[in-house]
């Protein structure tokens, strides 16, 4: 008898054919109409957030969306997890553990890109410059540097992910009334 969900008729038919050696003491469980977890907790587990965020960083958004949809997770949540937050409303605050995990994933990619960058730069020798097309070798170096720039964390010292903004207000100098020329007007 194959494993799976069967109807009552199929179960009775299988039990009556005599090939079943194990006594079956099964119960019928009615399908619950409720969605979500049985405990009522609707939060996505932290480990799943990390996996979805990592998948988005390494394989792209479309891969992460496919993974998230199999768990019933929204597209906006995928964007949030990739940015180290638990929801789109928390982009500036975020989840410290998720952000750290995403930064580690990005650092692995950056270190791999750095090694490729160094390797491609080592290939630009005076001999190669004369023989090969400089465009091809320098294109690899340029692409690797762009990968590093795009994948490095925005601000390593700023762990709270708060924007570093300085606002400067300039106030004009105040002048006294006596400093202005007086013009007498006759009406």
Name the burial class of residue 144, with classes exposed (0-12), middle (13-18) and buried (19+) by CB atoms within 10 angstroms of its CB: buried
What was the pLDDT predicted at 20? 61
In a domain, 97, yes or no: yes
Q: For residue 54, give its domain range.
A: 46-151
Residue tagged 């940015």 (tokens):
83
The answer to whether position 127 is within a domain reads yes
The reply to whether 8 falls in a domain is no
- The answer to whether residue 36 is domain-embedded is no
Number of domains composing the chain:
1
| C-alpha to C-alpha distances, 167 to 91, 163, 164, 170, nearest whole angstrom | 21, 12, 10, 10
Q: Does a structural domain hold residue 112?
A: yes
Separation between Cα atoms, residue 22 and residue 16, nearest integer Å: 13
Residue 10 forms part of a structural domain: no
What pLDDT is stored for residue 1 in this prediction? 43
Residue 174 domain-assigned? no
Q: Specify whether the CB–CB gap between 1 and 14 falls below 8 A.
A: yes
Residue 165: inside a domain: no
Write down the pLDDT at residue 22.
60
Full pLDDT tens readout for the chain, 187 residues: 445 677 788 878 877 777 666 665 677 666 655 554 555 556 788 888 889 998 999 888 888 998 888 888 888 888 888 888 887 777 666 778 888 898 899 999 888 888 888 887 787 777 776 677 778 777 877 887 887 787 776 655 555 666 677 888 888 888 888 888 888 888 7
Task: Determine the pLDDT at residue 164.
Answer: 72
């Amino acid at each position: 008898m194959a494993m799976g969900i069967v109807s009552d008729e199929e179960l009775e038919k299988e039990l009556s054919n005599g090939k079943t050696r194990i006594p079956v003491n099964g119960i019928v469980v009615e399908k619950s109409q409720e969605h979500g977890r049985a405990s009522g907790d609707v939060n996505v587990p932290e480990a799943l957030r990390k996996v979805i965020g990592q998948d988005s960083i390494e394989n792209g958004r479309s891969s992460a969306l496919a993974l998230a949809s199999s768990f019933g997770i929204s597209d906006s949540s995928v964007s949030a997890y990739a940015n180290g937050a638990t929801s789109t409303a928390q982009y500036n605050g975020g989840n410290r553990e998720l952000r750290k995990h995403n930064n580690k994933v990005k650092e692995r990619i950056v270190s791999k890109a750095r090694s490729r960058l160094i390797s491609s730069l080592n290939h630009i020798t005076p001999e190669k410059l004369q023989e090969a097309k400089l465009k091809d070798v320098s294109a690899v170096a340029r692409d690797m540097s762009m990968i590093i720039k795009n994948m490095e964390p925005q601000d390593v010292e700023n762990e709270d992910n708060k924007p570093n903004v300085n606002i400067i207000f300039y106030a004009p100098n105040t002048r006294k009334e006596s400093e202005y020329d007086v013009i007498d007007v006759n009406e």
